Amino acid sequence: MAQRRPDRVRGPGHDEFWAWCDKGELRLQRCASCGRIPWPIVQKCEYCGGSELVWEPMSGRAKIVSGCTFEYDYYKGMLPIPYETILVELEEGALFISNPVDLTWRDIEIDMPVKLTFLDCEDSAGAFKLPVFEKA
Amino acid sequence: MSEASLARMPPPSRDLSRKAAIVGVGETDFGADYKASRARAPGYEPPTTESLAITAFERALADAGLKREDIDGISVSFLYGGPSAEDTAKLVGIKPRHTMQTPGILAGPLPIVCTAIAEGKCDTVAMIYGVASRTSGRVFGGLAFTGGPGPTSYYYHHPWGWSSQAAHWALIWRRYQAIYGATEADLGSVAVQLRKNAMANPNAVMQTPLTIEAYLASRYIVRPLHLFDMCLVNDGAVCLIVRKADKARDMPHTPVLVAGWGEGRIKNDKFHYMVREQLRPQMQEAARQTYEMSGLAKSDVQHFECYDASSMHLINQVEGFDFAPRGGGLERFKSGEMAVGGAMPVNVAGGMLSGAYMHGWNHVAEITRQLRHEAGPRQIADIEVSMFSLAETDEVHPIIFQRGA
C-alpha cells in the first residue's frame, strides 16, 4: 500500500524528475557547460549559470554522508514518528536527502554504501515513486 | 521565513568603519514575559509586536539619555510582520526624517543603518526589532515551510519528511560525532554552559540550572539533537539607538562603535558546505572582510557572541571563526575556556539557547553592555573588542564592535 507523504514540489523540471522516478529511474540534471549535477532541480545551473541541462541516469550507488531521526512530529501525524532520514552522496557527486529502507539510526554509519530503490507513495497530486536507499 | 528577510547588507568598506555607535539599548522583560505566557493566568493579555516595540524603544531612549526629538531616523525589523517604519514612528511618538524597513534578523540592519548615517540621511536612529513568536504559535519545520524566497532546503525535501532548522543542525552534528568521536554529553556541555550564563543574566528566560544528566534525559527533537540543543521560542523586542560617531560622545554611557562587517554566502552545493564544511569557507571569507574593514585582527577579539539557533551551530561558528580548532570547540566548552574568565567567552548572557530568541539582537545588546563595562557579575575584564556572528543555514554576517571613547 502506498505511503502518504507530504507534497512534492511540482513545476518545470520537477515534473520531469518525478516522471523519471515513476519509470524506476533516478535522473538528475547534468550541466552541459560545467559537467556538475545540481540538486534540487534548477532552471539554470547553480554552479555556472548554464541553461543546457541534460537528464542523466544515476547509477543508484551512493554512500551515507549523515543522517538524522525525526522524533518531533513536524508533519502533524502524516508521517509516523520516529522515522529516519539520510543524506547520501551519489556516485556521480550530488548530495541527496532521502530515507533509508530497513535501517535505523543504530545501523547507520557514515560512509556506509547504499543503493537506490523506490517506494510506492502518494501525495495530494496522486501516486508516485519515491527514491530511497537500502544497504548495498 | 527567516532567511527571506536576510537582505544583502551594504558591502564592507573602510570608509564606513566607526562612523556610528550604539548609544542606547532597551530590551523587554524576556524572562517575566515568558513566564506569564506559560502560566496564562486569568485575564492574561499576550503581548503584541507593537506593545513590545514601545517598551523596548522607551527603555533604549532613556538609556541613551535622549529625547524623542533627538531621534531623526528609524529602522524597523519586525521579522514576522508588524507596522511599517512610518506607523512605528507614530506609535512611539517620533518624527524621523529618514525611515528604513530593514531585515528582521541581525546582522543586516546594523550595516544598513550605519551606512545611512555615514551618508548623512540621519544622525540618530532608533532601530526597533520585535517578535511575538510564542504568542503566534510559530512552528519551525514541516508544512509551515513552503516554496518562496527562503532557502530551498527548508521545503524541498518534504516528500522524505525532512525539514526544519533542527534537521540541518542534526545532520551536521551526526557527521561531526563520527568524524571527531564526539559524544552527546560533549555537545551537552554547550547547553549547560549557556544555562549558567543565562543565570548570570537576570533578564534571561531560563533561570534554573541544567545538568548534563538532565540534558541527556531530555527528549530528542531530531536525533541526535536534544530539546536543549535548540533555541528558545519567546516573545520580545529590542531597541538599539545608533548615533553618528562624532555625536556619540558625552553621552550617559560609553559608545560602542560599529567597526566592521562582512558577508559569506553559500552559492551552490549547500549540503556539502553545510554538513561537510560546517560553513567554514563562508565564515572565513566573512571574517576576512570584517577584519579588513575594521583594521582589527582576530587576536584583538576578546568576546564572541554568535547566533546559537542550536548548540551545534554555535560550535560551527566558534570553529569557523577560528576561536577553537576544527573539532576542538566542545573541548573548549568543557574546559571552561568559553565561559566568562576563560580565554574566549561566548554568548555570555545565555544566547538564544537559554537567554532569549531575539534573532541576534539580544547578542548585540549584550555586546553593548560588555563593551560599556556594565555587565555586572558576568562582565569580561578589560574588554575592548567583541565579535558578533549571525550565521543561518547558508549565510554568515559577522560584525565587529569596539569600545569607543
**How many angstroms separate the CA atoms of A118 and B82, rounded?**
45
* Structural domain that includes position B33: 2-138+233-247
Pairing of strands B256-261, A100-101: unpaired
Backbone angles phi, psi at A85, to 5 degrees: -130, 150
Best of A63, A70, A112 to substitute, by most chain B Cβ atoms within 10 angstroms, is: A70
Cα B201 to Cα B366: distance, rounded to the nearest angstrom: 10
Q: What's the rounded Cα separation, in Å, for the pair A100 and A87?
A: 9
Which of chain A's residues have a Cβ under 8 Å away from the Cβ of B155? 9
Q: Is B146 near chain A, with CB under 8 Å?
A: no
Closest approach of B157 to chain A, Cα-based (Å): 7
pLDDT at res. B175: 98
CB-based contact, B266 to chain A, within 8 Å: no
Please write the tens of the pLDDT for every residue from B117-156. 999 999 999 999 999 888 777 777 888 777 666 789 999 9
Per-residue pLDDT tens over the stretch B13-59: 999 999 999 999 999 999 999 999 999 999 999 999 999 999 999 99
Buried-state track B66-91, b at ≥16 Cβ within 10 A, e below 16: beeebbbbbbbbbbbebbebeebbeb
Q: Within a domain: residue B81? A: yes
The helix (run of H) or strand (run of E) holding residue B110 is: helix B109-118
- Total domain count, chain B: 1
Q: Kindly report the CA angle at A29 between A27 and A35, in degrees rounded to 5?
A: 125
Look at the alpha carbons of A13, A14, A18, A21 in this order and tell me if their dihedral is positive or negative.
positive
Can you tell me the distance from the alpha carbon of B73 to that of B95, in angstroms, rounded to the nearest whole number? 8
Write down the domain spans for chain A: 3-135
DSSP, collapsed to helix, strand or coil, labels residue B16 as helix
Strands (E), B262-403: 264-265, 304-306, 385-391, 395-403
B162 occurs within a structural domain: no
Residue A61: beta bridge partners?
A115
* Chain B residues within an 8 Å CB radius of A65: 171, 175, 271, 275-276
Chain B: residue whose CA lies nearest to A74 = B142
In a domain, B311, yes or no: no
Residues with Cβ within 8 Å of A72's Cβ and at least 6 positions away in sequence, in order, are: A81, B141, B164, B166, B220, B221, B222
Does the residue B57 lie in any domain? yes
Interface test with A, best of B174, B227, B274 (most A CBs within 10 A): B174
Contact between residue B100 and residue B74 where contact means Cβ atoms under 8 Å apart: yes
Substitution target in B157, B172, B180, B228 with the highest count of A β-carbons within 10 Å is B157
ipTM of the complex: 0.98
CATH number at residue B66: 3.40.47.10
DSSP B276: I
Instruction: List average pLDDT for each run of 10 residues in chain B, which is 405 residues long.
Output: 52 97 98 93 92 97 98 95 95 97 89 96 97 81 74 94 96 98 98 98 97 98 98 95 96 98 96 98 98 98 98 98 98 97 98 97 98 97 97 95 96
